[in-house]
Amino acid sequence: MDVHASVEENNTIDWDTEDEHEIENIPQTSKAASTSAGPSNVSLIQHFIGMGFPEKFVTKAIKKNGESDSDRILETILAYMDGHVSDEENVDIDSDTKDDLEIQNIASTSCSTFVNRNAAIISNGEASSSRGPSNLNTVQHFMDMGFPEELVTRAIKENEENDTEKILESLLTYSQMAPEELDTYHASSSQQQCVNYDELSSDYDESLLDGFSEDDSLSESEITDNQSLPENEQMLLSLASMGYTVEEASAAVARCGPNASIAELTDFITAAQMAKTEAAFFEEEKPKVFVNPKLKRKMYQEALKRKKQKGPLTEEEEVIRIPKPMIGFGVPSESRFVTHRTLPDAAIGRPYFYYENVALAPKGVWDTISRFLFDVAPEFVDSKYFCAAARKRGYVHNLPIDNRFPLLPMQPRTIHGALHVTKKWWPAWDKRTNLNCLQTAYGSAKNMDRLRKALEKWGDEPPDHVKKYVLDECRRWNLVWVGKNKLATLEPDEVEMLLGFPRNHTRGGGISRTDRYKSLGNSFQVDTVAYHLSVLKNLFPNGINVLSLFSGIGGAEVALHRLGVPLKNVVSVELSGANRDILRSWWEQTNQKGNLVHLDDVQKLHGDKLEELIGRYGGFDLVVGGSPCNNLAGGNRVSRDGLEGEQSSLFYDYFRILDTVKTIMNKPN
């Protein structure tokens, strides 16, 4: 539970990246459970009572430790709760046997059970573990243990009434959750009851996806009902439906003002086009226009509609399901392969494209992505088939799929194979063989310390509730055993290795450890991507020109290089300076013979620049990229808006740029 997480830890968590957390219902840190309450005595007492601890333990612990060190207070309270108090303290606290009984009841539910409980209930007496299982009694029984009535009734409803073990298990799960998580959990529990960590760290149950709905996806009526939009957005849409690009339309609106007529706006755009001064209007002088991501999608939908004469997706048309096992068209370790597929005509030919994003996106997202990317079906692959860590991703590409080959040497696919040092200390009861998805944030030292303390109280075989608490934390933070009772987060070097990057790829040059984790957590798993890109080696023996969008730390570049595909010209578009530095430095260290050009923002990359680059290099052979998944990934509780999220809508820029490149490259000279 997360009385164990500090505020500092909270702040470093980047929930943006990954798809695992939410699905796994891993206990999260609740603000209410943070230990940073102000030191005024009353509010401090209240703070711990609010976390579910009995008032007498709280006051006692504060008296013992003073008010300023809330961590120590918490440790002391936990010790009281676990019954690990010195004799003197025992005497001090209470000699009432009824209370003792209560304490024992509570202690048996582990130190990870005391979030959000109503402590007042604990002291209301009449606790007895021998009550019969008639509903009322069962309710009372668990309430006497300190669980709020509402949760108790829920837990009983979800389990057999006489299966008190299961009920207790549910209650423990609930009490590890923050209130908002609890709501999500209950809202989705009907679909998610089958969730179990082991399954999720390895295989994915497609039924889970049904729990996600793209709430604000656009209905047909929304798309056509532009009247409800603000006036200038209506104007933008009208321009889009006339065939102008988002950039042209928004620049024109910004330039001519919100009251301009359609005629004025189209005049402006045409004049700009005719005078071939797009650069002046749309580049240098381009006013900063914020294009609402929803509008962006609508405009592209309009463009697409004109192109394909297709309406928007309806619920029934949302068909893409995540396959199980998640091996795409095949992986080296499995004997099942698909070696042929028929691509839609519009997708065939140069440039090859390769788009990546998290597999477990909200409902409908992959349908939309696929639809935009010329109706190519995604290939879903879990990187656990390529390394010791899971990473479930979807890839839409038009590459051939036969004669693929893996990078050699292939990575070990078990934790022990990849991280030898851990084997010696790994307890038999930790059954993990794979790591979960590598994240952008890692557990804190404090957390490791708490785990050590929790384990040190027991011998080699801690009780089940301690095991559960420890394993939950291990899975949540990808912890590995590095000593007796000693757990540790993965080092950035280890993450680099697991992801297939060279050692020290992200190290040095001023990048912080936190940023290393973040950049790595967002990157491609190189072996996986290389397997898909390997077909390019025979197609382009003399090297390729790559347009690399959202390059990050260069997962695609590293993959191609390791495959032995010469990089002739790479135009890399990446917003983060730290990431650009990493790629540049790798480029130099690996003595690349080609050119690396850096641009910063995909939103600023328009037709004229693309035309120039295509002219300069004779076109691109590959347009590769994985746009940010911030609003798609399960871990993001704040904003899981689907493709309309501010970051995720950058997918439409991937599409726009690819589409423009195709158009320019297909233009007869």
Catalytic residues: 629
**Contact present, 38 and 18 (Cβ < 8 Å):** no
Give the binding range for ligand SAH (CB under 6 A) out of 81-89, 103-111, 339-347, 517-525. Answer: 517-525
Q: How far is the CB of 620 from ligand SAH (least distance, A)?
A: 16
Stretch that binds ligand SAH, among 330-338, 469-477, 509-517, 571-579 (CB under 6 A): 571-579
**Min separation Cβ 460 and ligand SAH, Å:** 41
CA distance 430 to 52: 29
Nearer to ligand SAH, 434 or 548 (CB): 548
Dist. CA 652–CA 299, nearest whole Å: 10
Q: Does 579 bind ligand SAH (CB under 6 A)?
A: yes
473 vs 653, beta carbon nearer ligand SAH? 653
Q: Using the rule CB under 6 A, which residue among 628, 634, 635, 642 binds ligand SAH? A: 628
By beta-carbon proximity to ligand SAH, the closer residue of 177 and 657 is 657
Q: Can you read off the two tokens belonging to residue 483?
A: 């000593």
Establish if 574 lies at the interface with ligand SAH (CB under 6 A).
yes
Interface region with ligand SAH, contact rule CB under 6 A, candidates 87-95, 390-398, 400-408, 549-557: 549-557
- Residue 394 to residues 12, 125, 559, 649, Cα–Cα distance (Å): 27, 55, 17, 17
- As a whole number of angstroms, the distance between CA 661 and CA 656 comes to 9
C-alpha torsion sign, points 20, 22, 23, 27: positive
- Backbone φ, ψ for residue 597 (5° rounding): -110, 130
- For the CA atoms of the chain, what is the radius of gyration? 28
Task: Centre a 10 Å sphere on the Cβ of residue 375 and count the other Cβ atoms it contains.
Answer: 15
Burial class (CB in 10 A: 0-12, 13-18, 19+), 393: buried
Reading the block at residue 566, the tokens are 């010469």
Tell the residue number behind the tokens 């918490």, with chain if given: 74
**What is the arrangement of strands in the sheet containing 392-397, beginning at the earlier edge strand?**
379-382, 392-397, 352-358, 622-625, 544-549, 567-573, 595-599
Site for ligand SAH in 56-95 (CB under 6 A): none
Q: Quick check: 494 binds ligand SAH (CB under 6 A)?
A: no
Q: Which stretch binds ligand SAH (CB under 6 A): 173-181, 447-455, 463-471, 569-577?
A: 569-577
Give the shortest CB-291-to-ligand SAH separation in angstroms.
Answer: 12
Residue 517 CB, shortest distance to ligand SAH, in Å, is 13
CA atoms 257, 260, 266, 268: torsion sign: negative
To ligand SAH, the closest distance from the beta carbon of 664 in angstroms equals: 20
Using CB under 6 A as the binding rule, whether residue 553 contacts ligand SAH is answered as: yes
Nearest to 662 by CA among 346, 301, 297, 296: 346
Q: Count of residues binding ligand SAH (CB under 6 A)?
A: 19
- SS3 for 573? strand
* Phi, psi for 624 (deg, rounded to 5): -120, 145
Between strands 379-382 and 392-397, the pairing is: antiparallel
Task: List the one residue from 380, 477, 550, 617 that touches ligand SAH (CB under 6 A).
Answer: 550
DSSP bridge pairs for 358: 393
CB of 491 to ligand SAH, least distance (A): 19
**Minimum CB distance to ligand SAH, residue 322 (Å):** 20
Residue 626 is a binding residue for ligand SAH (CB under 6 A): yes
Do 125 and 107 form a contact (C-beta atoms < 8 A)? no
* Contact track, ligand SAH, 634-663, x by CB under 6 A: ----------------x-------------
Give the one residue of 576, 590, 592, 595 binding ligand SAH; rule: CB under 6 A: 576
Find the shortest distance in angstroms from Cβ 577 to ligand SAH. Answer: 9
Are the C-beta atoms of residues 227 and 258 closer than 8 Å to each other? Answer: no
Alpha-carbon gap, residue 517 to 440, rounded angstroms: 5
- The reply on whether position 378 binds ligand SAH by CB under 6 A is no
Q: Which is nearer to ligand SAH, 4 or 505 (CB)?
A: 505
Separation of CA 388 from chain center: 18
Among residues 105 and 579, whose Cβ is nearest to ligand SAH? 579
Q: Supply the minimum distance, in Å, between the C-beta of residue 354 and ligand SAH.
A: 10
Residues 388-417 that bind ligand SAH (CB under 6 A): none
Q: Helices 55-65 and 70-81: crossing angle, nearest 10°?
A: 130
Among residues 29, 70, 603, 660, the one that binds ligand SAH under rule CB under 6 A: 603
**Residue 95 to residue 595: CA distance in whole angstroms:** 78
C-alpha distance from residue 556 to each of 283, 526, 625, 630 (Å): 28, 7, 8, 20
Stretch that binds ligand SAH, among 303-311, 320-328, 547-555, 658-666 (CB under 6 A): 547-555
Identify which of 115, 110, 118 has the alpha carbon closest to the alpha carbon of residue 33.
Answer: 115
For ligand SAH, the binding residue among 351, 362, 555, 635 (CB under 6 A) is 555
Site mask, ligand SAH, residues 129-168, x = CB under 6 A? ----------------------------------------
- Region of 121-129, 147-155, 464-472, 519-527 interacting with ligand SAH (CB under 6 A): 519-527
Any idea which residue has 């072996």 for tokens?
527
Q: What are the φ/ψ torsions at residue 380 (nearest 5 degrees)? A: -100, 125
Per rule CB under 6 A, is residue 500 in the interface with ligand SAH? no
480, β-bridge pairs: 488
Residue with smaller CB distance to ligand SAH, 27 or 628:
628
Binding mask 583-602 for ligand SAH (x = CB under 6 A): ------------------xx
Specify the residue, 181 or 641, whose C-beta has the smaller distance to ligand SAH. Answer: 641
Which residues are near ligand SAH by CB under 6 A? 522-524, 550-553, 555, 573-576, 579, 601-603, 626, 628, 650
